[in-house]
Structure 1
Amino acid sequence: MTTVEEGNRARLVPVEVVDAELVENESAPGAAEVVVHDPAAAVLAALETGAEEELNRARAHKTRTGYARDWQVWREFHDWLGEQTGHRLPDTAVTRGTVVAFVTWLDEVVKAPPSTIDRRVTGVTVTARRPPYGVQVPKEATLAARELIRKYKNDPKRMARGRGQAEPATPEHLRRMHTADPLVPRRPYSRRRRREYVLPDLAVYRNQALTKMAWAISGRAAEVSALEIGHLQLTDGGLEVHVPSVKERPPRDVEVAYGERPDSCPVLAWLAWQGAAELTEGPAFRSVDQWGHLGSQRLSPDGCRLVITRAGKQAGIEVTLTGHSARAGFITTAIEQGKRPDQVRQQSGHAAKSAVFWEYVRKAQRWHNPVSRGIGL
């Protein structure tokens, strides 16, 4: 029983007895309703929230920012849908109908490649399930989306929307980037006042070292970003490099030998950058502003990719080099020069059954001894 005041009199109101603390609801004076505070449920809810926050922190920064961008695209879709229907749905309207419409919009309006659409759907559904939204995304919504995406992936025209495999960077590309003009024109839509500026010497040293080191260790952008000064040890033969673990991939130790030419040698480029920047500890590759001031923070994986892409453009290289170009170029060049695939794979860190690695090998070896040669044609 509980007591409820009614004017000058009090009356007893029966309540259900539960194994929890009872807290009267003060939102409606005089009401007999009570709010049940269950300590066990509160603890479980707090643990669920904490687990989600910990998992979110454990996700790679690139993944978190990607999910945030996916949710922004989802909101842009709802804006577009609202213009079409005259009524904007809430962002939390994640249903079979809205998810399928989202996939169709990305395909027909945005003209996104199927791989991008696939990733967007993942980012939206993961974000929707997490706080503060807490949406129960129906399973049939994701199943319907995947069915459409599978259909798109069988269409060559849709698949051609993607950028495809990275263009391999060659030793000749590295040499051209080494001697590139440091004069940088202002990019379109840049906020810089100057139409052009000269890249500081320190930035030139860093870019030369980063592009050659990424190539020599066949490194992913995240691995190049994670390198520390202590990970590179000079020996008589060159550098012993410890490539740290990123995204739960195992670390590896690789050897980087002195190059045959000084303008493409990764060891000499690293020593020049380390000496010019006076690096003794901390991140191996750091920011350098337009005035040549060295930053203390490491370059992000995206920053490492941009260094390679911009260095290629600066050198007037006809193809667009990306962060993966160094990795692809090392594998292709090493195989073409007769290195054993198992040696190359140890340097690159690919899994033994990696389809991507063996595709690089196949392309590099396709004219070594083609099966159509010497068979009596």
Structure 2
Amino acid sequence: MDGAVESTRHVTPEVYAAWVARHGTEVADRLAAAETLADAAAADSVPPNTTDTYTKGWKVWQRFCTEQNMPETEGTRGALVAYVLWLLDRGQSTPGPNGPRGYAPASAHSHLTAAVVGLRDRGHPVTKDAHSEARARLESAATRIAKTGERRGRGKAHAADLDNLHRIADACDDTQTGLRDKALVLTGFHFASRASEVAHLMLVDITSHARGIKVAIVAGKTRRSVRTVAIPYNNDEPAICAARAWLHWLDAYGATNPTAPAFPRIDRWGHIGDAMAPDSVTAAVTRIAQRSGVPIRWTGHSLRSGLATEGRKNGKDSILIADQGGWARNSKAMLEYMQTADEWDDNAAAGLRRPPKGGR
């Protein structure tokens, strides 16, 4: 292969030699360069949090291969099934009080996906059949675990609700930290934020308008979650108005650089630092809720599930909710949040009564 052309998983020496034979070296070099450009474009389109998840998941695959004396370059049907069973049985690196601990099924699924992506990215083929069988074995094992009554992981995040948003708004004081915390929670709730989306917001991304604020989410996890949404002033419930909370925080913040983080770190002495990391946003939401007396544990994802749940309770159309939160309009996750809101009122068993006499 020409010295200026790097071998990639798409351009192996065999592929390059075939191009040379058909088109000559100059054209083969241009085709190889185009493949390198396509690889770079594909990598650039993957959100940072997804890349981080894949990186961590690959390390779990490497740990499995080392422990089981398996080659990490082989994603065979048997290896992937063995990996799934290992993940569920003893995959966690830190043992519990009773010995080795397995991952929750959702975490095991993420690690399986990361291993398959990692293998393919490194030029080691994984067939769809092998991946499908491993997923099937994972789902079957997860069902058996559920039947035993065992609960792994923290489960789904509790959805933020309006009553507890009022608790938080009342508890946040007028210090810079209090104003930032209030703005972070209320703004994040009103655009159904992920922690990573809040972490990547800059001042330039949040703009004031006559009827509220607009938030440009440019670090979305999917194509649909890259969006610009409006958050109107809430004149009915001004205490939890995100637009007002943002403007109060912006005034106290005093930053003028448009690339400054919208929600920076603030230490115990009131010194403002750089942008919060996604994990820091999640920890902040939990801390703010606990400090405010919220009786259930909130995480960063509570804000996301909360808008879908409360929006549904308030009769908002599912399409409007999907667009605000950056969900696909038939998103399974969003529909599950809405089902939480509907399970008592919009219920097939609710309000059953006998028909009037003489009626059918």
TM-score, with normalisation over the residues of structure 1?
0.71
Distance 1:167 1:216 in 2: 16
1:147 aligns to what?
Answer: 136
Q: CA deviation at 1:42?
A: 6.3
Among 56, 59, 64, the residue aligned to 1:77: 64
Q: CA deviation at 1:324?
A: 1.9
Among 116, 128, 134, the residue aligned to 2:123: 134
Among 148, 167, 172, the residue aligned to 2:163: 172
Distance 1:126 1:71 in 2: 9
* CA deviation profile, 1:1-56 (whole Å, cap 9, x unmatched): xxxxxxxxxxxxxxxxxxx99xxxxxxxxxxxxxx9x6466665565455434422
Q: Does the Cα contact within 8 Å between 2:172 and 2:182 map onto a contact in 1?
A: no
Distance 1:215 1:124 in 2: 33
* CA deviation profile, 1:309-342 (whole Å, cap 9, x unmatched): 2222333433221222112222322332344444
**Within the alignment, does 1:287 sit opposite 2:268 as a pair?**
no
Q: Does the Cα contact within 8 Å between 2:172 and 2:181 map onto a contact in 1?
A: no
2:243 aligns to what?
Answer: 267
Contiguous gaps of at least 5 residues in structure 2 = 3-16, 92-101, 356-360
**Within the alignment, does 1:217 sit opposite 2:204 as a pair?**
no
1:26 aligns to what?
Answer: none
With over 3 angstroms needed to count, the CA separation of the structure-2 counterparts of 1:334 and 1:47, relative to structure 1, is closer
2:96 aligns to what?
Answer: none
**SS in structure 1 at match of 2:231:** strand
With over 3 angstroms needed to count, the CA separation of the structure-2 counterparts of 1:99 and 1:45, relative to structure 1, is farther
Higher normalized helix content (fraction of residues): 2
Q: Does the Cα contact within 8 Å between 1:220 and 1:327 map onto a contact in 2?
A: yes
Q: Does the Cα contact within 8 Å between 1:332 and 1:360 map onto a contact in 2?
A: yes
Larger Rg: 1
2:89 aligns to what?
Answer: 108
Distance 1:137 1:147 in 2: 16
**Within the alignment, does 1:91 sit opposite 2:81 as a pair?**
no
**SS in structure 2 at match of 1:324:** helix
Distance 2:206 2:141 in 1: 45
Distance 1:78 1:205 in 2: 49
Q: Aligned AA for 1:322?
A: T
Q: Does the Cα contact within 8 Å between 1:181 and 1:314 map onto a contact in 2?
A: no
**Within the alignment, does 1:239 sit opposite 2:220 as a pair?**
no
Among 350, 353, 356, the residue aligned to 2:327: 350
Q: Aligned AA for 1:355?
A: K
Higher normalized strand content (fraction of residues): 1
Q: Does the Cα contact within 8 Å between 1:259 and 1:266 map onto a contact in 2?
A: no
Distance 1:323 1:46 in 2: 41
2:223 aligns to what?
Answer: 248
**Within the alignment, does 1:360 sit opposite 2:337 as a pair?**
yes
TM-score, with normalisation over the residues of structure 2?
0.74
1:205 aligns to what?
Answer: 179
**Within the alignment, does 1:57 sit opposite 2:44 as a pair?**
yes
Among 43, 50, 55, the residue aligned to 1:68: 55
With over 3 angstroms needed to count, the CA separation of the structure-2 counterparts of 1:261 and 1:279, relative to structure 1, is farther
Contiguous gaps of at least 5 residues in structure 1 = 1-19, 22-35, 82-87, 183-199
Q: Does the Cα contact within 8 Å between 2:166 and 2:240 map onto a contact in 1?
A: yes
With over 3 angstroms needed to count, the CA separation of the structure-2 counterparts of 1:151 and 1:284, relative to structure 1, is same
With over 3 angstroms needed to count, the CA separation of the structure-2 counterparts of 1:154 and 1:323, relative to structure 1, is same
Q: Does the Cα contact within 8 Å between 1:237 and 1:258 map onto a contact in 2?
A: no
With over 3 angstroms needed to count, the CA separation of the structure-2 counterparts of 1:311 and 1:148, relative to structure 1, is same
Q: CA deviation at 1:90?
A: 4.1
Q: CA deviation at 1:224?
A: 2.9
* CA deviation profile, 1:161-199 (whole Å, cap 9, x unmatched): 3544321112232233345589xxxxxxxxxxxxxxxxx
Q: Does the Cα contact within 8 Å between 2:231 and 2:242 map onto a contact in 1?
A: no
**Within the alignment, does 1:329 sit opposite 2:303 as a pair?**
no
Q: Aligned AA for 1:220?
A: R
Q: Aligned AA for 1:375?
A: R
Q: Does the Cα contact within 8 Å between 1:240 and 1:254 map onto a contact in 2?
A: yes
| Higher relative contact order (Cα pairs below 8 Å, separated by 6+ residues) | 2
Q: Does the Cα contact within 8 Å between 1:217 and 1:256 map onto a contact in 2?
A: no
**Within the alignment, does 1:229 sit opposite 2:206 as a pair?**
no
CA-based RMSD of the aligned residues comes to 3.4
Q: Does the Cα contact within 8 Å between 2:323 and 2:329 map onto a contact in 1?
A: no
With over 3 angstroms needed to count, the CA separation of the structure-2 counterparts of 1:356 and 1:124, relative to structure 1, is closer
Distance 1:243 1:57 in 2: 17
- Which deviates more, 315-324 or 44-53? 44-53
